[in-house]
Structure 1
Amino acid sequence: MTLHTEHLHATPAGIERAASLIREGRLVAFGTETVYGLGALASSDQAVARIFAAKGRPKFNPLISHFADAESALAQANLQGPIQELAHKLADAFWPGPLTLVLPRAISSSISDLTAAGLESIALRVPRGQTARALLRAVDAPVAAPSANLSGTVSPSDAFHVLRSLGGRIDAVLDSGPCSVGVESTVLDLTRPTPTLLRPGGVTLEELTAICGTVAHPDDFADLLPSSPGRLASHYAPALPVRLDATSVEPNEALLAFGPDVPDAKLTWNLSKQADLEEAAARLFAGLRFLDSEGARRGLTRIAAQTIPRKGLGLAIRDRLRRAAEPRP
């Protein structure tokens, strides 16, 4: 489906229009000091699924949620012990600014499973920039926003880059001019015993070390960190084993279904009765969690997953299911 992509300007009316679209579950690109992000309600699986569809993103990697202020951001995290003091020190030093903190996800967090890619951690940032923060205040909710470009292409540093890449695929772009930094934010994981740099960016390793002391970083490892997005084969796996491309269901299995033709099962979660891949993406993590917990309660020992088409968001869904089906370490 081709959309009319509105080109909004950084005026009070333009900002309010952009905020209204995001609150409705629509997609709006907006500029930060790093790059333009593709914004959607981080609390809505349906809205976030549209991000993946618009970008043609092949995997459901965790998305960064953006906030107007540090207090709102840190309220989404479960901060206890030393991590609490360190998170506040980093926020005081670098927010608003090009630093993303990966923190434990609070039980009360409004950030959706799809935004977090099923993890128990969340990625939070308070961007710099008058327009971005005005937009986030107007939305008054977490906004998930990966770079506003087709997956695998160069990240956009002005509104015209966005329009060339995503014009007709998103609802609007809020034009605040060129980005001042032009590279993505630094990503620092505080869920590990040692603060760990997952992605270098606008805040340097030296600046982080001055506050954190020791910071682990990719040069310390033979390969990228196994728990950084998309690296662990058996990531996001339910406790019950998963069987892929099922055409029938065994008596001991729960069924993760897709489409109108569904075999009989003792317990079923249909990702989309209409075989809509966007709806299926939005319902994937909730479905796995439901079948895992309810299936175990009913004495079932496995999840059978029907075949998902190898196209569009189907590739991302299949990727997550393949990881869920990998043998446990």
Structure 2
Amino acid sequence: METQRLSLEEAAKFLSEGKLVSFGTETVYGLGANALDSVAVAKIFEAKQRPTFDPLIVHLANAEDAEKYAAEVPERARKLMDAFWPGPLTLVVPKKPVIPDLVTSGLPRVALRVPDHAEARELISQADVPLAAPSANPFGGISPTTAQHVLDGLGGVIDGVVDFGPCRVGVESTVVGFDDAGHPIVLRPGGLTVEDLESVVGTVRSVQSMLQDDNLPQLAPGMLSRHYAPNKPLRIVESVSEFRDEARVGVISLEPLPDANEYAVLEVLSSSGNLVEAAATFFSALRRLEASEQCDRIVCAAFPDQGLGKALNDRLRRAATPLVDS
């Protein structure tokens, strides 16, 4: 199969015909299919080699469309919609039967989001269907933030890609679910900070305190313990300074280092240590190190655990190579 570069209008036509099309959003590039068509949705799982127990996010053109697919919208969910849609926020709410069970991995709730990207919303409007769209990369790999990243991973496997330029946010959306009393729970940190959420609905809990089995249906997309991973070993370290002068180690640093020329390969995410800039460049840096012939392993120190640093640490933990007991 040849993967075509498409105009927005061509991409909308492809999607309405049940084909697979990747498109850019403010977070990462998604692999879209008609969310109401089980056959089209099944193609997503096949193309990505994604297990069907990992649910998909459904992208909408506007907040009003949520009423078509949500059986119930908790009060705090509505407050978050009003405050942050369009935006990098996914809300997990009870679904209507029109959403196929394959989209939700058989669970009674659907993950909905309105992207903060005018062209992506126009694409959804022109296709005239909601789009199920996980990140457009082989399952478990590094998320794509450019159209070329998509072609590098899924070229020849999907029908088309529409190039909306580099992604502005660069990490996936924050996913929020709700307990039986309607209290919000952060299921996956992402492009919207916990601090932003709490400014609207008060204290939110985190799912990190809950046990998740990778072999069972996931509560939300992107929750598997091993995800976003490069094909080289990645280790989280206390400090990258110990890897000065060590051969064949690629280093990711939040900010510039005074001894930069002493590292085999160094990727600096922000010239000023800015977490927003770091989030936008993290996956691209991982991809460059994955492709580099100068390193065969990667190290990175944890990020400040605040703001977008929480999302970066989440991605870093899921990308890291599991330790093996000796």
Per the normalisation by structure 1, the TM-score is 0.63
Q: Runs of 4+ in structure 1 displaced over 3 angstroms?
A: 222-227, 229-232
SS at structure 1 position matched to 2:124: helix
Q: Is this contact kept in 1: 2:52–2:105, CA < 8 A? A: no
Per-residue Cα deviation, 1:199-258 (whole angstroms, up to 9, x for no partner): 000111111112222211034x163499624989xxxxxxxxxxxxxxxxxxxxxxxxxx
2:93 alignment partner, SS class: strand
Match of 2:18, SS state, is coil
Q: Which residue of 1 aligns with 2:96?
A: 106
What is residue 228 of structure 1 aligned with on the other side?
A: 219
Partner secondary structure for residue 169 of structure 1: coil
CA contact (8 A) 1:103 1:191 kept: no
Rounded Cα–Cα distance in structure 1 between residues aligned with 2:220 and 2:169: 23
Shift of 1:73: 2.1
Alpha-carbon displacement from aligned partner over 1:136-179 (angstroms, at most 9, x marks no partner): 11011110000000011100000000000000000000001000
Task: Establish whether residue 7 from structure 1 lines up as the match of residue 28 from structure 2.
Answer: no
Are 2:86 and 1:96 equivalent residues in the alignment?
Answer: yes
CA shift at 1:36, angstroms? 0.1
Cα distance in 2 for residues equivalent to 1:224 and 1:113: 21
Q: Quick one: distance in 2 between partners of 1:222 and 1:90?
A: 23
CA shift for structure 1 position 134: 0.8
Q: Pick closer, same or farther for the CA change 1:47–1:21 going to 2, 3 Å.
A: same
Distance 1:86 1:58 in 2: 31
Counterpart Cα distance in 1 of 2:204 and 2:180:
11
Distance 1:23 1:205, change over 3 A: same
Q: Distance in 2 between matches of 1:191 and 1:138?
A: 35
Q: Distance in 2 between matches of 1:49 and 1:122?
A: 16
Question: In the alignment, which of 17, 33, 37 is matched to residue 24 of structure 1?
Answer: 17
Identity %: 52
User: In structure 2, do the counterparts of structure 1 residues 58 and 119 end up closer, same or farther at CA, with 3 Å as the change threshold?
Assistant: closer
1:52-131 map, 5 Å: 52-79=45-72, 83=74, 85-107=75-97, 110-131=98-119
Map 1:312-323 onto structure 2 (within 5 A).
none
> Residue type matched to 1:87 in 2?
A
1:121, distance to aligned residue in structure 2 (A)? 0.5
Matched length:
219
Offset, 1:75: 2.9
Structure 1 residues 202 and 74 mapped into 2: Cα distance closer, same or farther (>3 Å)? farther
Match of 2:229 in 1: none
Q: In structure 1, list runs of 5 or more residues that go unmatched.
A: 9-13, 233-329
State the one-letter code of the partner of 1:7: R
Q: Which amino acid aligns with 2:88?
A: P
* Alignment RMSD: 2.0
Check 1:19–1:191 CA distance in 2 against 1; reply closer, same or farther (3 A cut).
farther
Cα deviation, 1:102-159, whole Å, max 9, x if unaligned, reads: 001124xx22111111111100000011210110110111100000000111000000
Q: Secondary structure at the match of 1:96?
A: coil
CA distance in 2, matches of 1:183, 1:114: 25
SS of residue paired to 2:120 = helix
Residue 312 of structure 2 corresponds to none
Question: Structure 2 matches for 1:1-329, cutoff 5 A?
Answer: 3-8=1-6, 14-79=7-72, 83=74, 85-107=75-97, 110-193=98-181, 194-219=183-208, 221=209, 223-224=211-212, 228-229=219-220
| Amino acid in the other structure paired with 2:86 | P
CA distance in 1, matches of 2:125, 2:179: 28
Report if the CA contact (8 A) 1:66-1:73 is conserved: no
Q: 1:164 corresponds to which letter in structure 2? A: D
Q: TM-score, normalised by structure 2?
A: 0.64
Q: Distance in 2 between matches of 1:150 and 1:99?
A: 23
Looking at structure 1, the residues matched to 125 and 4 of structure 2 have their Cα atoms a distance apart, in angstroms, of 21
2: CA distance, partners of 1:224 / 1:209: 24
CA distance in 1, matches of 2:179, 2:40: 27
Q: In the alignment, is the contact (CA less than 8 A) between 2:111 and 2:220 conserved in 1?
A: no
Deviations 1:265-324 (A, max 9, x none): xxxxxxxxxxxxxxxxxxxxxxxxxxxxxxxxxxxxxxxxxxxxxxxxxxxxxxxxxxxx
What is the one-letter code of the residue matched to 2:128? Answer: D
